[in-house]
Amino acid sequence: MKKIAVIGSGVMGSNIALSFAINGYSVTLNDVKEEFLVKAKSRIEENLSLLVEENDVCEGKKKAALENITCAIDLKKAVIEADFIVEAIPEVIELKWALYSKLSEMIRPETIVASNTSTYPLSRLTEKSSFPEQMVITHFFNPAHLVPLVEIVQHARTKSEVIDETMELIRDIGKSPILLKREVTGFIANRLQTALMREAFYLVKEGVASARDIDTAITAGPGFRWAFTGPIEIADFGGLDTWQRVFDNIAPELDNSKEAPALIREFAEGGKLGVKTGEGIYSYTGEAVSQKLNQQSRDFIQLRKIKRL
């Protein structure tokens, strides 16, 4: 499998294209406007330059990766020769269905179509697709060229060879795929993350500590370990008898609300949306945000090296 098409060149699509291109795959990147593709190509180039600065790739590999990416505004041209298509258009079901309807006229029976959806179950996506057995979800995490995890989600009608080929391809681009055996809302990583964030916002609301200290409790504590040891293995290492007591003592005290934390709702309704408006739980100035994102990317590149990925 050599030819990849990525549809949607935004935050996720551009870096998914980069992930394939840097590993030698020929990628066609598609979007609805030429200017979006130009922007995506310059984002990809910037990200490659950072990888060069951090000695993760050499100039030659950067050049080859850029040469592996072709932009095509014409959908048919973008997908006609593709063996594997990643759909990374906005999370609007009608848009996704409309795209699948167009694709049905353009793809071959052996082409795999993978959605990068973060919320829709595959059975919902395929409700209006004429090729459900060729579809799968490949859920990359932002920034897609640096975070190793890709969640692979199937449904009852996905062909087993589609799953096998997808797992192999995702491994081949240096990622760490995990396979969900059945459909579940939010997949796995976002369920775990949301459970933790519910408790973090509860602790802020209860005035137990400052937001900064609660964040540090994770980044300097469990989060420091989690890059290498997952929560289930941590239970084994700590001793299951100990963890039984921890759960019995702490679980009854945990927040168990069924909706977004009041603090998030209050801020969102007041137009304080975080980085994008300059004000959220913390305050941000434009310069500080770009510096932080740049430093975060450099840290992720180094962490990947430590994890030997």
Q: Which of 18, 20, 29, 36 binds ligand NAD (CB under 6 A)?
A: 36
268-272: long-range contacts, CB 8 A cutoff, minimum separation 24: none
| CA–CA separation, 164 and 172 (whole Å) | 12
What is the footprint of ligand NAD within residues 91-110 (CB under 6 A)?
91, 95, 99
Tell me phi and psi for residue 136, to 5 degrees. Answer: -155, 165
What is the footprint of ligand NAD within residues 53-92 (CB under 6 A)?
88-91
Rg for the chain, CA atoms, rounded: 21
Query: Is 44 among the residues that bind ligand NAD (CB under 6 A)?
Result: no
Q: Which helix (H) or strand (E) holds 193?
A: helix 189-205
Query: Is 138 among the residues that bind ligand NAD (CB under 6 A)?
Result: no
Q: How far is the CB of 10 from ligand NAD (least distance, A)?
A: 2
Total count of residues recorded for the chain: 309
Q: Which of 32, 220, 246, 250 binds ligand NAD (CB under 6 A)?
A: 32
Q: Which of 28, 111, 117, 134 binds ligand NAD (CB under 6 A)?
A: 117
| Minimal CB distance residue for ligand NAD | 10
What is the footprint of ligand NAD within residues 264-293 (CB under 6 A)?
none
- Asked whether the beta carbons of 205 and 212 are under 8 A apart, the reply is no
* Residue at token pair 């168990």: 256
Q: Which is nearer to ligand NAD, 7 or 146 (CB)?
A: 7
| CA–CA separation, 36 and 207 (whole Å) | 44
Residue ranges binding ligand NAD (CB under 6 A): 7-13, 30-32, 36, 88-91, 95, 99, 116-118, 142
